Amino acid sequence: MHRRQRAARAPQPAPAVLRPVTANKLTASEEATILQTLNSERFVDQAPEQIYATLLSEGTYLCSVATMYRLLRREKQVAERRRQARYPARKVPELVAYQLGEVFTWDITKLAGPAKGTYFDAYVMIDIYSRYIVGCQVHARESGALAKEFICEVFATDQVPKVVHADRGTSMTSKPVAALLADLDVLRSHSRPKVSNDNPYSEAWFKTLKYLPVFPERFGSLADAREFMDRFVQVYNGHHRHSGIGFHTPADVHFGMTGHVEDQRMAALQKAWDRHPERFGQRRLPKKLQMPSAAWINAPLKQEEGEELQAA
pLDDT, tens only, 165-220: 999 999 999 999 999 999 999 999 999 888 878 889 999 999 999 999 999 999 99
Q: Specify the pLDDT at position 307.
A: 47
Q: Are 249 and 238 in contact, with CB atoms under 8 Å apart?
A: yes
* φ/ψ bin of 304: left (φ > 0), alpha (ψ from -120 to 50), beta (otherwise): alpha
For the entire predicted model, the pTM comes to 0.68
pLDDT band at 306 (very low <50, low <70, confident <90, very high): very low
Q: Give yes or no for residue 270 having a pLDDT over 90.
A: no
The pLDDT, as a whole number, for residue 235 is 95
- Name residues whose C-beta falls within 8 Å of residue 155's C-beta, 6 or more positions apart in sequence: 184
How is the chain split into domains, by residue range?
26-82, 95-250
Q: What is the pLDDT of residue 282?
A: 67
Partners of residue 119 on adjacent β-strands: 112
Nearest by Cα to 107 from 169, 186, 179: 169
Amino acid 287: pLDDT = 67
Distance of CA 264 to the CA centre of its chain: 40
Which residues is 112 bridged to in the sheet? 119
* Lowest-confidence segment of 165-174, 192-201, 253-262, 280-289 by average pLDDT: 280-289
pLDDT at 76 over 90: no
CATH number of 95-250: 3.30.420.10
Q: Kindly indicate the confidence band of residue 243, based on its pLDDT and cuts at 50, 70 and 90.
A: confident
Percent of the chain with pLDDT over 70: 83
